[in-house]
């Protein structure tokens, strides 16, 4: 399989297929796991309880009154941080993990085949659970006598011993727990301690002008970092359970020498850009630019007019370029004081700002936005239920060919540029067309000569016009489905790289602007994609003068999920209702850029742990996106929403090529890896059946969203993705 890697990739990348060194966590330089700690015996439960209370009290106060605390209560915060003992905080969270692991053991683990070697670990967890329960009962009481304190200490000491035994265990779940602790130490507790040590050294001034001095801006940044770590630590209690019980059979958690990886390595290409040193520099710059962007939007209001929004944006841009420290300060404040719902406000702000944004995009000869009518029976939960049963052979082929979108039979097939009547807008899907040359729609003509206007003056003849047939390279169309966590974004936001794709590839690109959650949860967006895809197949020749015979489907992040879901849907519908689908053209290539493959934030993996320390793709934001899209739909076996749940019915009929791209530092790296592993495993298990042409690319150093971040990333992604596209075009 790897012998077929396109030449363009071999020329531009260093390919590293040996010593992949996947698993477990983002890097291998973790500190040693915590060993037995006799010092902890000096910390009685009363101290722990006080630490918990202070921890919550101080943070919540800071979060609700962040500006007031920075200016007026700096001394109180410093005093609190000077007393904060990180050793105590560590154990608080570790005990919490123990309790969650115990619940896992009781509710999940015992339902699985139990390895006798792990019974001892199970006993440890159960004992921990009982100790924690006893501890909870006792520390809720008031501490009045020394006897009660001693009783608490006697109850907690066995827990400490169990905890240390757990760290030294060699079974799978024990290893998962140890790795979790290592991650917390490296990425949270150690940096947190460093910030606190810096904060303790700050001299306190009570003057109102304290923060007006540049000298003291570093102090404010330190304080904000302390608060940010507090926020992250406090939010972790919502996710510890899921992170601590990583599925030991998940491919992202398996060692590269495991049997599962032997076959996977035949389909995975790990590549390094040849200018890797420059890329490292660009990564740092990009992350700084991201924080810079946060500082900008923190001072923009979604309800402002477009003019004042633009004026405010330009003013703030100049200000933050001049005062970099202020940019860091405002960016951190933004992260501290805004929840995931703010993501929706950001897209509203962008919508008001899009005119000015569009002026900064790369030039392209042709761009047009159109609205196409929804003509096919809608994809709703009822139909999806029928399709799932149909694929299992559990129900007859129930088809209603007369079902159409209500009240739209008399509406036009297409609107160019805009729809005036908003009442009918839900009957249409918005498409954005990009091409390096001008395209001519139905009834659009091109004058045969520039002299015809003059001929009309001197000769009494009608103005002659020539109907143009659009020259489409190899009759190929690329349909792109944008990402944005299912809740935001549009083709316009992705045009910085899509315009370059259209110019360089020489084929038209149509971006589908589907309905977004939470207003339109699953399967509304998928229905829009299906309606648009079928409209293009049925009407592109007559309405757009495009004779399309070959289609490439591309999507990034949430868009990658929708691409694969749409392809599965088309396969199923073709069998479910052949008459309705007609002579459908299936995509010949699926390009999945860092796709979401499982819509369930509780299904964690090692790469997902990166989200704990990510500015954008952090657990609250990711959970908000997933829950907004899924809403009240909980069928995990639906392959139209969960790519890794693809079944034999679909796999036997899959004929297209699949290319999956992700970065080694990508939060969703393991999502792409899972899908690649699933498809490669099916090829191995079904040698006599349909073999899927699948390949995955792991780009070292890269993180989520690399195809749209900065030109150096875009250039590298073009070399990678274009090589696969040109390989397809060369065989058409």
- DSSP code per residue over 626-655: HHHHHTT---TT-TTT-GGG--HHHHTT--
536 part of a folded domain: no
- 308-331 mean pLDDT: 78
Of 15-19, 490-494, 519-523, the least confident: 15-19
Q: Which range in 168-172, 308-312, 514-518, 633-637 is most confidently predicted, on average pLDDT?
A: 514-518
| pLDDT score recorded for residue 117 | 43
Of 37-46, 82-91, 271-280, 527-536, the least confident: 37-46
197 part of a folded domain: yes
| pLDDT score recorded for residue 538 | 94
Q: DSSP class of residue 144?
A: -
56 part of a folded domain: yes
What is the count of structural domains for the chain?
Answer: 1
pLDDT tens, position by position, 530-541: 999 999 999 999
578 part of a folded domain: no
172 part of a folded domain: yes
| pLDDT score recorded for residue 49 | 63
pLDDT band for 679, please (50, 70, 90 cuts).
Answer: very high
Cα-based torsion angle of the residue sequence 193, 199, 201, 206 in order, rounded to the nearest 10 degrees: -160
- For residue 24, pLDDT beyond 50: no
Is cis: bond before 446, omega within 30 of 0?
no
Quote the Cα angle for 455-460-466, to 5°: 55
544 part of a folded domain: no
- For residue 72, pLDDT beyond 70: no
Rounded CA gap, 434 and 453, in Å?
Answer: 30
Rounded CA gap, 705 and 560, in Å?
Answer: 12
| pLDDT score recorded for residue 338 | 73
Of 13-17, 146-150, 264-268, 474-478, the least confident: 146-150
pLDDT band for 467, please (50, 70, 90 cuts).
Answer: low
| pLDDT score recorded for residue 204 | 56
Q: What percentage of the chain reaches a pLDDT higher than 90?
A: 31
Question: How high is the mean pLDDT of the chain?
Answer: 77
Q: Are 624 and 343 in contact (CB under 8 A)?
A: yes
Place of tokens 């090829």: 683
pLDDT tens, position by position, 599-616: 876 667 778 777 877 778
Q: Which range in 421-430, 560-569, 682-691 is most confidently predicted, on average pLDDT?
A: 560-569
Of 243-247, 467-471, 681-685, the least confident: 243-247
pLDDT tens, position by position, 221-257: 887 887 787 777 666 655 655 665 566 677 877 777 7
504 part of a folded domain: no
pLDDT tens, position by position, 100-147: 555 544 444 444 443 434 435 455 556 555 655 665 565 555 555 667
| pLDDT score recorded for residue 522 | 96
pLDDT tens, position by position, 544-562: 999 999 999 999 999 999 9
| pLDDT score recorded for residue 34 | 43
Q: Which range in 444-448, 560-564, 663-667 is most confidently predicted, on average pLDDT?
A: 560-564
Domain assignment of residue 134, given as a range: 38-244
Rounded CA gap, 117 and 297, in Å?
Answer: 54
- For residue 187, pLDDT beyond 60: yes
- 659-680 mean pLDDT: 92
Q: What percentage of the chain reaches a pLDDT higher than 70?
A: 66
H or E element in which residue 13 lies: strand 13-15
pLDDT tens, position by position, 561-588: 999 999 999 999 999 999 989 889 999 9
Report the predicted TM-score, pTM, of the whole model to 2 decimal places: 0.85
639 part of a folded domain: no
pLDDT band for 64, please (50, 70, 90 cuts).
Answer: low
| pLDDT score recorded for residue 163 | 60
H or E element in which residue 277 lies: helix 276-297
Rounded CA gap, 13 and 430, in Å?
Answer: 37
- For residue 17, pLDDT beyond 60: yes
- 660-665 mean pLDDT: 91
Selected residue with higher pLDDT from 114 and 289:
289
521: left (phi over 0), alpha (psi -120 to 50) or beta: beta
Selected residue with higher pLDDT from 649 and 119:
649
């Amino acid at each position: 399989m790897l012998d077929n890697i396109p030449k363009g990739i071999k020329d531009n990348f260093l390919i590293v297929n040996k010593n992949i060194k996947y698993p477990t966590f983002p890097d291998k330089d973790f500190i040693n796991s915590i060993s037995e700690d006799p010092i902890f015996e000096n910390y009685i439960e009363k101290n722990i309880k006080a630490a918990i209370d202070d921890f919550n009290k101080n943070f919540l106060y800071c979060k609700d009154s962040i500006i007031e605390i920075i200016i007026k209560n700096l001394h109180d915060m410093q005093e609190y941080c000077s007393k904060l003992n990180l050793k105590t905080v560590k154990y608080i969270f570790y005990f919490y993990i123990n309790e969650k692991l115990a619940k896992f053991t009781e509710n999940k683990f015992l339902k699985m085949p139990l390895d006798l070697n792990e019974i001892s670990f199970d006993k440890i967890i159960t004992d921990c659970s009982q100790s924690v329960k006893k501890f909870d009962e006792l520390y809720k009481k008031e501490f009045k006598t020394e006897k009660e304190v001693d009783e608490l200490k006697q109850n907690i000491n066995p827990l400490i011993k169990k905890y240390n035994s757990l760290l030294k265990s060699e079974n799978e779940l024990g290893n998962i727990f140890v790795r979790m602790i290592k991650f917390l130490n490296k990425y949270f507790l150690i940096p947190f301690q460093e910030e606190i040590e810096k904060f303790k050294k700050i001299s306190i001034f009570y003057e109102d002008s304290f923060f007006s001095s540049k000298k003291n801006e570093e102090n404010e940044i330190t304080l904000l970092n302390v608060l940010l770590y507090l926020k992250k630590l406090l939010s972790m209690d919502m996710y510890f359970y899921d992170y601590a019980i990583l599925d030991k059979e998940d491919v992202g958690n398996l060692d590269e020498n495991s049997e599962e990886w032997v076959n996977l390595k035949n389909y995975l290409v790990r590549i390094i850009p040849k200018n890797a040193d420059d890329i490292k520099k660009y990564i740092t710059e990009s992350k700084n630019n991201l924080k810079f962007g946060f500082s900008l939007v923190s001072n923009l209001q979604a309800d402002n007019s477009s003019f004042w929004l633009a004026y405010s944006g330009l003013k703030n841009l100049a200000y933050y370029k001049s005062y970099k420290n202020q940019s860091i300060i405002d960016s951190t404040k933004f992260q501290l004081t805004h929840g995931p719902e703010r993501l929706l406000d950001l897209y509203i702000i962008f919508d008001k700002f899009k005119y000015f944004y569009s002026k900064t995009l790369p030039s392209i000869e042709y761009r047009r936005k159109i609205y196409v009518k929804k003509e096919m029976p809608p994809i709703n939960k009822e139909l999806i239920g029928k399709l799932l049963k149909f694929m299992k052979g559990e129900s007859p082929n129930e088809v209603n060919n007369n079902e159409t979108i209500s009240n739209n039979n008399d509406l036009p097939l297409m609107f160019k540029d805009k729809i005036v009547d908003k009442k009918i807008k839900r009957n249409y899907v918005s498409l954005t067309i990009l091409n390096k040359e001008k395209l001519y729609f139905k009834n659009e003509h091109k004058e045969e000569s520039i002299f015809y206007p003059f001929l009309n003056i001197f000769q009494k003849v009608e103005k002659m016009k020539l109907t143009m047939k659009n020259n489409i390279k190899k009759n190929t169309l690329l349909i792109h489905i944008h990402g944005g966590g299912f809740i935001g974004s549009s083709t316009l936001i992705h045009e910085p790289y899509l315009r370059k794709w259209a110019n360089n590839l020489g084929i038209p690109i149509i971006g589908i602007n589907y309905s977004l959650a939470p207003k339109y949860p699953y399967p509304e967006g998928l229905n829009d994609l299906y309606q648009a895809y079928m409209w293009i197949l049925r009407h592109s020749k007559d309405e757009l003068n495009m004779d399309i015979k070959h289609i490439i489907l591309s999507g990034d992040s949430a868009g990658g999920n929708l691409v694969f879901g749409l392809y599965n849907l088309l396969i199923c519908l073709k069998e479910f209702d052949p008459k309705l689908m007609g002579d459908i053209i299936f995509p010949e290539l699926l390009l999945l850029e860092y796709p979401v493959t499982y819509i369930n934030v509780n299904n964690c993996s090692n790469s997902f742990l990166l989200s704990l320390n990510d500015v954008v793709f952090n657990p609250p934001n990711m959970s908000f996106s997933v829950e907004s899209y899924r809403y009240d739909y909980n069928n995990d076996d639906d392959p139209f929403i969960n790519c890794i749940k693809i079944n034999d019915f679909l796999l036997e009929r899959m004929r297209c090529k699949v290319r999956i791209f992700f970065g080694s530092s990508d939060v969703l790296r393991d999502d792409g890896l899972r899908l690649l592993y699933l498809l490669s495993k099916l090829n191995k298990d079904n040698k006599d059946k349909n073999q899927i042409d699948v390949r995955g690319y792991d780009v070292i150093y890269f993180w989520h969203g690399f195809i749209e971040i900065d030109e150096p990333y875009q250039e590298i992604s073009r070399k990678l993705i274009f090589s696969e596209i040109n390989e397809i075009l060369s065989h058409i």
